């Protein structure tokens, strides 16, 4: 909000590096940047690519309009020649990447941005912001979706995260397998189905719980969801069915021992003849709590905090690294692999890379193969990167449902242990085939 | 982005509850909602209120324009009478709250929203989104700022979180004690000082490290910050001083054993005569890593991931609860305390509350006193809530520096153990004085 262009979602040093490179005559060197992680969050078996569609929007809207240029000039962030260069900026290079919803592993080249150094370096911050955030939420959503079996998951985390992070979280959750969201902005922006129940405040507003249920059913119909844990659950369930009839849509339980309560409430609803009334549970659920309710008569899970905070891992460790660049600004100058060589674990593998998922004889993934140069014949049709932007034009826009379906397929192609909730190593190893 | 009003940062059930209350004739009952947490994140000694200024902006912009109304109508989210009510909506009630930068404890009534049920319930989601996110980041920033002593902290986390969460994070970090940000949007939107260094990509773009340093110094001047860990640190430091001279502004170390390297680099810089050249360290710092560098010759810390993810606690557990409401919609109808009475730990304390911080004889905080009814004489001038919105008009806008300074003062008024990094209980207890 209140920021005129995605171009400001940028670390200052991207612009000052551009200025220095323009000054040195190196800004036009053809460059390849890649997004990858060195590791998955501890114990996780796979990652989930999410945010790709948002990256495409951000790249399209990455323009330096007069408001932005005035700010950069007023703050003396870059010099006049750089301001002039930025005024004409639009990304004219190429972007390839793992399609949204695909799974990834350490070293997977999740996105590859190719263009002049100047045009490509500027995109670093916003691309990483989007992919790091959205992929963290999608990974949590994917685990929760496995834990939920076929039961629907409702995203309800808006109040636990930044108001726009919430919108992106609802989107990423949908990619990861959630079926709906409580967040209206996510419905507005991404056409994700929105749902809602009722809050304790609504019950407390009224003189009795019966008054509250009556008010809700009178206005919203008997298909509504009544919240039954404001006072006594058994009393509330009885009142709910008296008020709404046996066609009551759902009841929601938001506190207490959900396993025990779900059984009791189901029994009570059945006894009252409300056999089709569903039970929705909420209350700080994560994938483990969801799994623990697998045998309980629960019809849907509402998940908030643990979803939008990535269930313990609110960000991914994705980085955006220069992996190859030309020796000069001549268009035909060959690319040379480059990599940082420093201490500790922050090593990068140089070179413009492809990636393919090798399958075993049963068609199950057995390795993430990352290489440079020619793709070996057996892997050619298993390549993972797809073209997203060609010469600055987005060529791979797709409906969000495509990403959601792709994720189901990609996850199903992994070894069975991928969907264990217990901690472990990445479910397939990453192999390098660098020439 | 692409969302026309803060009114959409709202859970669907807020609107359907409004519809049901309008239908039942209860929407106009005068209501008091309060924001509070039942607990601090595990081990934390105090919380930091942040986001108040953003809440005021959000409340002012909470309007249902035609785009929003069309969406709500198309999706059949609410009925016609409710749409008509929303079209005229603006918040006309009162908001009091802890001023931004103040510290808080379990049960502190951080914000109190008073108005009709309909107008106040709608604000729940966006108020919680902002306060839960911003306060989590500010709390981490405050701990880091304690750990850093007087050394400046640079917020560099934009790439690790949602692009707009990043802007709010930079703002909250500033409130919590950071001195600058790398995020240009935060500079644009909130006038927070922006700073930048250089990335490994810039070094790798050039044929040699010397070429890169020369390019940077030629364009940005010798006061710039050169990144010295792309290849060999000692070689880079020597080259840096050769290129920039002894007036080189800073060097940045982004990997390796920072304690060891800081000492080595300081020694080398001094030997080279660059006695005023500063050392900036970055690399997954949190408050503990910062504290461990207290004795090292470090001049500034750049902090990313751990800041924007709240250093292990990316959200607060703030809730927005109806604590009192009138029995009828008559303006003079008396308020009645209300509270959920259900299982587990989700108990609320009913009643419209005040809060005051009681001091011991040395002027140090000894209790957070939360009460309803008249404020005891000795606590009257220690009240914590201030008027923020009166009859829908924002009355407490202030520069961000005021919140930043307030936080320093508020933290300094706590017992000394508040600033221990080790885990513990809230540093002062919360006492209830309910009538």
Q: How many domains, in total, are found in chain A?
A: 2
Q: Does residue B131 sit in the same domain as residue B158?
A: no
- Chain A residues close to B215, C-beta within 8 Å: 20-21, 23-24, 26
Question: Which phi and psi (to 5°) does residue B431 adopt?
Answer: -110, 140
Question: Looking at residue A1, what is its pLDDT?
Answer: 45
Question: Looking at residue B346, what is its pLDDT?
Answer: 58
What tokens does A357 get?
Answer: 């998922």
Q: Where are the beta strands (DSSP E) in A243-283?
A: 250-253, 278-281
Q: How far is A222 from chain B (nearest CA, A)?
A: 12
Contact (CB<8Å) B214/A128: no
pLDDT, tens only, A139-172:
999 999 999 999 999 999 999 999 999 999 999 9
Question: Looking at residue B2, what is its pLDDT?
Answer: 47
What tokens does A11 get?
Answer: 């670390």
Question: Looking at residue B1, what is its pLDDT?
Answer: 45
Nearest to A388 by CA among A408, A409, A403: A403
Q: Report residue A331's pLDDT band, with 50, 70 and 90 as the boundaries.
A: confident
Q: What are the C-alpha distances in Å from A392 to residues A89, A92, A95, A315, A362?
A: 11, 4, 8, 28, 40
Is A143 within a domain? no
- Chain B residues close to A117, C-beta within 8 Å: 201, 205
The angle, 0 to 180 degrees and rounded to 10, between the axes of the packed helices B66-74 and B80-87 is 170
Comparing A339-343, B179-183, B199-203, the range with the smallest average pLDDT is A339-343
Contact (CB<8Å) A343/B257: yes
Interface residue A344 vs chain B (CB under 8 A): yes
Q: Where residue A426 sits, what CATH number does that domain have?
A: 3.20.140.10
Interface residue B15 vs chain A (CB under 8 A): yes
pLDDT, tens only, B356-411:
999 999 999 999 999 999 999 999 999 999 999 999 999 999 999 999 999 999 99
Q: Does residue B92 sit in the same domain as residue B167?
A: no
Question: Looking at residue A341, what is its pLDDT?
Answer: 76
Contacts of B369 (CB under 8 A, 6+ apart): B355, B356, B357, B358, B379, B430, B431, B432, B433
Contacts of A377 (CB under 8 A, 6+ apart): none
Strand-pair partners of B26: none
CB neighbours (10 Å) of residue A375?
17
Nearest to B13 among A189, A198, A321 (CB): A198
Is B207 within a domain? yes
CB neighbours (10 Å) of residue B294?
12
Q: Does residue A177 sit in the same domain as residue A293?
A: yes
User: Rounded distance, CA B311 to CA B318, Å?
Assistant: 17
User: Rounded distance, CA B20 to CA B15, Å?
Assistant: 9
Which of A268, A296, A311 is the C-terminal boundary of a domain? Answer: A311
Is A1 within a domain? no
Size of interface A-B (CB pairs under 8 A): 365
Is B429 within a domain? yes
Contact (CB<8Å) B158/A129: yes
Category of B51 on φ-ψ map: left (φ > 0), alpha (ψ -120 to 50) or beta: left
pLDDT, tens only, A361-411:
999 999 999 999 999 999 999 999 999 999 999 999 999 999 999 999 999
Question: Looking at residue B340, what is its pLDDT?
Answer: 84
Kindly state the average pLDDT of the residues A175-186. 98
Interface residue A284 vs chain B (CB under 8 A): no
Interface residue A214 vs chain B (CB under 8 A): yes
Q: Does residue A177 sit in the same domain as residue A215?
A: yes
**Are the C-beta atoms of residues A105 and A368 closer than 8 Å to each other?**
yes
Q: Does residue A409 sit in the same domain as residue A427?
A: yes
The end-to-end CA distance of chain A, in Å, is 46
The number of residues making up chain A comes to 435
Contacts of B154 (CB under 8 A, 6+ apart): B178, B179, B180, B181, B182, B195, B280, B300, B301, B302, B303
Interface residue B215 vs chain A (CB under 8 A): yes
pLDDT, tens only, B213-271:
999 999 999 999 999 999 999 999 999 999 999 999 999 999 999 999 999 999 999 99
Q: Does residue B174 sit in the same domain as residue B302?
A: yes
User: Rounded distance, CA B299 to CA B352, Å?
Assistant: 47
Question: Looking at residue A2, what is its pLDDT?
Answer: 47
Residues in A 116-145 with any Cβ partner in B closer than 8 A: 117, 121, 124-126, 128-130, 132-134
User: Rounded distance, CA B323 to CA B57, Å?
Assistant: 24
**Helices marked H in B154-229:** 163-176, 184-190, 200-205, 209-220
Q: Does residue A162 sit in the same domain as residue A118?
A: no
Which of A311, A344, A367 is the C-terminal boundary of a domain? Answer: A311
Contact (CB<8Å) A255/B344: yes
- Chain A residues close to B208, C-beta within 8 Å: none
Contact (CB<8Å) B339/A204: yes
**Are the C-beta atoms of residues B91 and B119 closer than 8 Å to each other?**
yes
Q: Does residue B180 sit in the same domain as residue B325?
A: no
Nearest to A307 by CA among B172, B165, B315: B315
Question: Looking at residue A4, what is its pLDDT?
Answer: 59
Nearest to A69 by CA among A79, A59, A58: A79
Which of B275, B309, B343 is the C-terminal boundary of a domain? Answer: B309
Q: Does residue B150 sit in the same domain as residue B124?
A: no
What tokens does A242 get?
Answer: 């008296």
Q: Does residue A203 sit in the same domain as residue A272?
A: yes
Kindly state the average pLDDT of the residues A267-292. 97
- Chain A residues close to B252, C-beta within 8 Å: none
Distance of CA B155 to the CA centre of its chain: 13
Q: Does residue A257 sit in the same domain as residue A331?
A: no
User: Rounded distance, CA B212 to CA B204, Å?
Assistant: 8
**C-alpha angle with apex B141: B135 to B147, nearest 5 degrees?**
145
pLDDT at A207 over 50: yes
Q: Does residue A306 sit in the same domain as residue A324?
A: no
Interface residue A98 vs chain B (CB under 8 A): no
User: Rounded distance, CA B106 to CA B112, Å?
Assistant: 15
Is B1 within a domain? no
Is A144 within a domain? no
Domain of residue B231: give its range.
Answer: 146-309
pLDDT, tens only, A212-254:
999 999 999 999 999 999 999 999 999 999 999 999 999 999 9
Contact (CB<8Å) B346/A216: no
pLDDT at A342 over 70: no
Positive or negative, the CA dihedral A264, A265, A269, A272 is: positive
- Reported ipTM: the value is 0.97
Is B251 within a domain? yes
Sheet holding B365-372, edge to edge: B353-359, B365-372, B430-433
Average pLDDT over chain A, rounded to whole? Answer: 96
Q: What are the C-alpha distances in Å from A71 to residues A78, B364, B398?
A: 10, 44, 22
């Amino acid at each position: 909000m209140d920021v005129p262009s995605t171009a400001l979602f940028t670390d200052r040093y991207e612009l000052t590096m551009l200025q220095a490179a323009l000054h040195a005559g190196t800004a036009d060197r053809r460059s390849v940047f890649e997004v990858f992680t060195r590791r998955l969050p501890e114990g996780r078996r796979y990652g989930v690519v999410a945010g790709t569609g948002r990256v495409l929007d951000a790249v399209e809207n990455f323009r330096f309009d007069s408001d932005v240029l005035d700010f950069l000039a007023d703050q003396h962030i870059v010099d006049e020649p750089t301001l002039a260069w930025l005024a004409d900026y639009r990304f004219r290079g190429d972007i390839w990447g793992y399609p949204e919803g695909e799974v990834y592993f350490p070293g997977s080249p999740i996105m590859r941005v190719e263009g002049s150094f100047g045009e490509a370096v500027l995109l670093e911050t916003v691309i990483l912001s989007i992919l790091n955030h959205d992929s963290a939420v999608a990974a949590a959503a994917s685990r929760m979706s496995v834990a939920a079996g076929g039961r629907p998951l409702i995203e309800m985390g808006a109040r636990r995260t930044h108001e726009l992070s919430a919108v992106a979280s609802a989107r990423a959750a949908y990619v990861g397998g959630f079926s709906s969201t409580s967040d209206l902005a996510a419905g507005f922006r991404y056409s994700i189905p929105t749902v809602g129940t009722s809050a304790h405040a609504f019950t407390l507003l009224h003189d009795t719980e019966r008054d509250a249920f009556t008010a809700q059913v009178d206005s919203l119909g008997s298909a509504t969801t009544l919240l039954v844990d404001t006072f006594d659950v058994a009393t509330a369930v009885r009142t709910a069915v008296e008020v709404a009839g046996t066609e009551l849509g759902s009841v929601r339980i938001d506190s207490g021992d959900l396993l025990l309560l779900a059984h009791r409430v189901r029994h009570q609803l059945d006894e009252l003849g409300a056999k089709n009334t569903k039970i929705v549970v909420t209350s700080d659920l994560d994938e483990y709590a969801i799994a623990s309710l697998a045998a309980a008569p629960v019809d849907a899970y509402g998940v908030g905090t643990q979803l939008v905070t990535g269930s313990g891992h609110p960000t991914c460790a994705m980085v955006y690294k220069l992996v190859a660049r030309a020796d000069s600004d001549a268009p035909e100058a060959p690319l040379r692999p480059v990599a940082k060589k420093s201490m500790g674990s922050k090593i990068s593998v140089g070179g413009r890379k492809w990636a393919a998922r090798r399958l075993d004889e049963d068609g199950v993934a057995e390795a993430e193969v990352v290489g440079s140069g020619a793709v070996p014949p057996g892997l050619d049709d298993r390549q993972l990167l797809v073209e997203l932007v060609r010469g600055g034009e987005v060529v791979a826009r797709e409906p969000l449902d495509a990403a959601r379906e792709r994720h189901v397929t990609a996850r199903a192609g992994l070894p069975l242990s991928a969907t264990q909730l217990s901690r472990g190593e990445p479910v397939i190893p990453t192999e390098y085939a660098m020439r």
